[in-house]
Amino acid sequence: MDLINIFIKSIFIDNMVFAFFLGMCSYLAVSKKVKTSLGLGIAVVFVLTITVPLNYLLNKYLLEPGALKWLSPSLADVDLSFLSFIMFIAVIASMVQLVEMVVERFAPALYASLGIFLPLIAVNCAILGGSLFMQQKAFTNVWQSLSFGLGSGIGWLMAIVFLAAIRERISYSNVPAPLRGLGIAFIITGLMAIGFLAFMGIQI
Amino acid sequence: MAKKKSKEILFDPLFENNPITVQVLGICSALAVTVKLMPAIVMALSVMAVVAFSNVIISLMRRYIPMRVRIIVQLVVIATLVILVDMLLKAFAYDVSKQLSVFVGLIITNCIVMGRLEAFAMDNKPWASFLDGIGNGAGYGLILIIVAFLRELFGNGTLFGHKVIPQWLYDHGYMDNGMMLMPAMALITVGIIIWVQRSLMPQLTEKE
């Protein structure tokens, strides 16, 4: 039950876009067509689901204060947590590279549709944000972090596909000239965020 | 672009080429820290420092970085600077650093930093890059401070934590607008800022 709760919560309540504004840059830049935004969204889900549990293990067995106890008792009070930013970003960048190579080798069709987005993802704040929130939430086992990563990814995917669908429609309407493009995208996102407030307090 | 004057490099990003409203960079961390004025200012200063110094470092190394691995090199430089900023904040401004939580770390993936490194520092001299970093940091900070000012004033009736809305207004039925503290209103506020800016500068309007 706990896992499902984390999953639902990270999709609807702690949504990456609407509650924490993470990944806004690519969210706004790529959300002009539903098809491309779906591609980017799937790539984000993919990378988040891999990197969050990986960084969880890294954090638990290497970085946390006292995490090195399993090596030898004399290392029990070593605190490497100041290295966490650089370790997380290195894991993310190399995972993205690895995923790109694996996908290119084994699923060329998927690569053709995701290819251009994968390098973009290394600097998507939602990915690093996922790992940093994971560190802050202090999950007790790796499955919780997996469920959190997957849920956050799906939440992000949902947000970008919704925005793209609305933007496709809005190109037919007469928006005031200075508000066109970026301005209206912000306001739509704001209204969607208000809508998502309705999910606040869901418990399963 | 090559022969811009220092003054232009410094002041362009404030309005005409503002990183948030025009270049659409670095929005990720911009909005979450704007509930109150104080964290917004600290965040703006941190970003400014990181952009300026990473610009200088990358600009000094620009001839020696192989093109293929430049992203990793840039990320390492940025991450190191961000760790320094994070430790300084924890040492000297612990409360604010607690409020900013993960968003200090997220400066690493803030697209302003990467964007300016790629667009400017990779082919300009260190001094110009430094000015570019300061200018873009300031442009980013300007928007942050405007949004935080509006949200704290209307959401809480305070500025820097001091009451500024006089008591007699409350006595006559004025109420703080709790909605302004919600994440949603940050987005709408930025949308409105963009609207105002583009009405004043019609050349920025998007054609489509």
CB contact under 8 A, A183 and B111: no
Q: What is the pLDDT of residue A154?
A: 93
CB contact under 8 A, B188 and A29: no
- Give me the DSSP letters along B6-65: HHHHHHGGGTTT-TTTTS--SHHHHHHT-SSHHHHHHHHHHHHHHHHHHHHHHHHHTTTS
User: Mutation test of the interface with chain B: which of A44, A82, A85, choosing the one with the most B Cβ atoms within 10 A?
Assistant: A85
Cβ atoms A129, A16 nearer than 8 A: yes
What are the two backbone dihedrals, phi and then psi, of residue A182, each rounded to the nearest 5 degrees? -60, -45
How many Å apart are CA A97 and CA A160, to the nearest integer?
A: 23
Task: Tell me the range of A111-125, A183-197, B92-106 where mean pLDDT is highest.
Answer: A183-197
Distance from CA of B53 to the nearest CA of A (A): 17
Please, which pLDDT band fits residue B1 given cuts at 50, 70 and 90?
very low
**Residue A138, Ramachandran bin (φ over 0: left; ψ between -120 and 50: alpha; else beta):** left
Cβ atoms B75, B176 nearer than 8 A: no
**Cβ neighbours of residue A42 under 8 Å, at least 6 residues apart?**
A114, A157
Tokens describing residue A8: 């639902």
Residue of A84, A123, A193 lying closest to B111 (CB–CB)? A123
- In this predicted model, what pLDDT tens digit does every residue of A174-186 receive, in sequence order? 888 778 778 888 8
- In this predicted model, what pLDDT tens digit does every residue of B93-152 receive, in sequence order? 888 888 777 778 888 877 788 878 878 888 888 888 888 888 888 888 888 888 888 888
- Domain positions in chain B are 27-148
Nearest Cα residue to B193 out of B147, B141, B136: B147
Q: Does B40 have pLDDT greater than 90? A: no
Which residues in chain B touch residue A180, judged by CB atoms under 8 angstroms apart? 205-206, 208
Q: Does B3 have pLDDT greater than 60? A: no
- In this predicted model, what pLDDT tens digit does every residue of A20-31 receive, in sequence order? 778 777 787 777
Q: Of residues A163 and A113, which shows the higher confidence score?
A: A163
Please, which pLDDT band fits residue A87 given cuts at 50, 70 and 90?
confident
Nearest Cα residue to A57 out of A121, A129, A123, A149: A149
Which residues in chain B touch residue A190, judged by CB atoms under 8 angstroms apart? 184-188, 191
Q: Look up the pTM and report it.
A: 0.82
**What mean pLDDT is reported for chain B?**
81
Q: What is the pLDDT of residue A150?
A: 92
Q: Does B50 have pLDDT greater than 70? A: yes
State whether residue B80 sits within 8 Å of chain A by CB.
Answer: yes
**For the purposes of burial, counting CB atoms within 10 Å of the CB of B76, is it exposed (0-12), middle (13-18) or buried (19 or more)?**
middle
Q: What is the pLDDT of residue B2?
A: 46
Amino acid present at A128: L
Residue of A21, A190, A191 lying closest to B32 (CB–CB)? A21
A 138-167 near B (Cβ less than 8 A): none
Helix residue spans in B93-125 (DSSP H): 94-100, 111-119
Q: What is the pLDDT of residue B206?
A: 65
CB contact under 8 A, A93 and B198: no
ipTM for the whole predicted complex goes beyond 0.85: no
Q: Does A114 have pLDDT greater than 90? A: no
**What mean pLDDT is reported for chain A?**
82
- In this predicted model, what pLDDT tens digit does every residue of A144-161 receive, in sequence order? 899 999 999 999 999 989
- In this predicted model, what pLDDT tens digit does every residue of B138-191 receive, in sequence order? 888 888 888 888 888 888 777 877 777 778 877 887 777 777 777 788 888 888
Which residues in chain A touch residue B181, judged by CB atoms under 8 angstroms apart? none
Distance from CA of B168 to the nearest CA of A (A): 31
- In this predicted model, what pLDDT tens digit does every residue of A39-68 receive, in sequence order? 888 888 888 898 899 888 888 888 777 767
Cα distances (Å, whole numbers) of residue B27 to A106, A111, B120, B193: 35, 28, 19, 13
A 39-58 near B (Cβ less than 8 A): none
Q: Of residues A167 and A121, which shows the higher confidence score?
A: A167
Distance from CA of B180 to the nearest CA of A (A): 11
